[in-house]
Amino acid sequence: MKILASKFVLIAAILMFRLSFASVADDIGYATSESIPVGVAQILNQKQFSKNYQVVTHLNPFYVTGNFTGRGRLDTAILIKNRASGDIGVAIIHQGSSSAIVLGAGQNFGNGGSNFDWMDAWHTWDKVSKVEKGVGEADPPKLIGDAILLIKTEAASGLIYWDGKKYQWYQQGD
């Protein structure tokens, strides 16, 4: 009887662990959600976050990674949508953090605005790559970590970068 009870407790614990990922899996499907790093999925599934935002996969890739803060850790930026407004944005999760930083998705952020639905491509910009002077911008930032380039192909782009305290926007083209 003890062995049966122990197996039941183990199965229940495994199911509870898997159910903690139900929010992301419900939004994008189980197979796609399995490609998200476990620590990132845990933050995305936090009740307060998942109540307000959902992961979206309309771009490939739907998430990018990089050493965004220059700490030598692999951080993740993932596409999200504000459940109430439908506005698209980016959630950035620093490795080892317990919460996400939301840019766009209903919150104004630089020239990107509050809705990043205009972007049709994005990728990680390596910190050793030269940042060109942007249209109507001051001198390019000196990157302390990798950045994220948000792109509207054949139109405009903007660079999201960490300045040591918070994320900033630097317009690249118009």
Task: Label residue 148 by pLDDT band (50, 70, 90).
Answer: very high
User: For the whole model, what pTM was predicted?
Assistant: 0.84
Residue of 97, 101, 109, 98 whose CA lies nearest to 78: 101
Taking CA atoms, 117 is separated from 48, 58, 59, 68, in Å, by 23, 10, 11, 22
Reduced to 3 states (helix: H, G, I; strand: E, B; else coil), residue 49 is helix
H-type helices in the chain, by residue range? 2-19, 22-28, 30-33, 38-44, 47-52
Q: What is the percentage of the chain residues whose pLDDT exceeds 90?
A: 74
Q: Where in the chain are the domains?
A: 37-173
Mean pLDDT over each residue of the chain, to the nearest integer: 89
Residue 7: the pLDDT is: 56
Q: How far apart are CA 88 and CA 103, in angstroms?
A: 9
